[in-house]
Structure 1
Amino acid sequence: MVPRLSLVVVFSLLVCGCHGGCAEVESLTEAELGRGFLLGCISCKSREEVSARSTVDWHFRAPGQDRFVHIFHYDHPTADVLHPDFGGRLEWRGTPGRDVQVGAVFLHNVTKDDSGTYRCTFQRTLLLPQGHQHVRVEKEVELSVVAVANRELTAVVSEIMMYVLIVFLQLWLVGVLVYCYRKTWDEHEAREARKALRAQAALMEVKDSCDGVQLEEQQ
């Protein structure tokens, strides 16, 4: 879970400004028995400058079942757990406001019965000058509960990317510091050289003046 969150941070640094730093990263799908798990759900707005109001709902369907059951509802500032099987175990980890783009929830103390399909639904109202526009977005997470979680390939790659980026930024910072030091030193040397030339010119003027006075005295 931590590597995937690290990848979200990296993407947030690299994604173009038109999306305001929002990147739609898929949730992990393998939870470890008895531990906590982050059910990820991100829906970025196509136009970041447009204000919006959003609510988020989570539904769950157990293996072999046909229907989803409503387990969670978020409408800022209220977060409600709606099913007794998840009572006290679901916690809002999404955007803390009305303009929600991250609709993640954290599931505490994962059990075998938590395996199944989770559906995240955004109900977003875009507050446009010409009128409000309603948008509905649905995402699903197929969750498997295992005794010991395996690290997914994407998680490993994301962690490697994170460390490569950190090393690259450190090297870039060192290069900038060296460049700034050399530039400052060169400017210092140039100032000292100009001072030396001015001092030499002043000495030459004094010498010429003294020579002129001596010639006049001799005459």
Structure 2
Amino acid sequence: MKLTCIYCMKREEISAETKVDWFYNGSASDYRKKLIYQYDGEPHYPDDSEAYWKGRLTWNGSKDLQDISISIVNVAANDTGTYECEVSRFFKFDSFEHSTTRKIKIELKVKMKATQDITALYSEIMMYVLLVFLTFWLLVEMIYCYRKISKSEELAQDTA
């Protein structure tokens, strides 16, 4: 399960340092969020990370750090909750430094039984309709070209 976090406030020509903290809060009644994953030059688990998360979270971000997503391996019902991606950027310009922070919350609800997405069903139906239409169109084009070639050959034989 990919937890998507995108923060595009960075350009290649501007020197910037990026720090990312991923937090988890399992219940609405408990307002304490737990730090579960970090990126500070490279992705890693925090020192006081719970054993529950170790080995289950993987960095899924891009090299340019615009996409700073993580993935949960072997998603379980206990993973339901609120995840928060906190991104801090430190920009260095010639005359000054600037920092910015953004927090993105993601609600994850793990269901025991998967439900079929209606959008996927519609796209599958459209794919088959398009496939039949294109096959029919190709057949008509082939017949048209065959007749045109046959007529031109008949005409060439008649004139000869």
Same fold (TM > 0.5): yes
Residue 92 of structure 1 corresponds to: 59
Contact 1:70 1:83 in 2 (8 A): no
Q: Sequence identity, in percent? A: 29
Structure 2 residue runs without a partner (length 5+):
131-160
Instruction: Check if 1:111 corresponds to 2:80.
Output: no
Instruction: Check if 1:126 corresponds to 2:73.
Output: no
Count of aligned positions:
122
Contact 1:53 1:100 in 2 (8 A): no
CA distance in 1, matches of 2:37, 2:14: 27
Residue 6 of structure 1 corresponds to: none
| TM-score, scaled to structure 2 | 0.66
Aligned counterparts, 1:1-150, within 5 A: 37-45=1-9, 49-63=13-27, 64-80=29-45, 82-96=49-63, 99-150=64-115
The alignment yields a C-alpha RMSD, in angstroms, of 2.7
SS, match of residue 45 in structure 2: strand
**What's the CA shift for 1:87?**
1.2
Counterpart residue identity of residue 50, structure 2: H
Structure 1 residue runs without a partner (length 5+):
1-36, 168-219
CA distance in 2, matches of 1:47, 1:94: 16
**What's the CA shift for 1:48?**
5.8
Label 1:74 to 1:129 Cα distance change in 2 as closer, same or farther (>3 A): same
Contact 2:24 2:35 in 1 (8 A): yes
Give the greater-gyration-radius structure (CA): 1
Deviations 1:141-161 (A, max 9, x none): 0100012334667xx38x96x
Label 1:46 to 1:91 Cα distance change in 2 as closer, same or farther (>3 A): closer
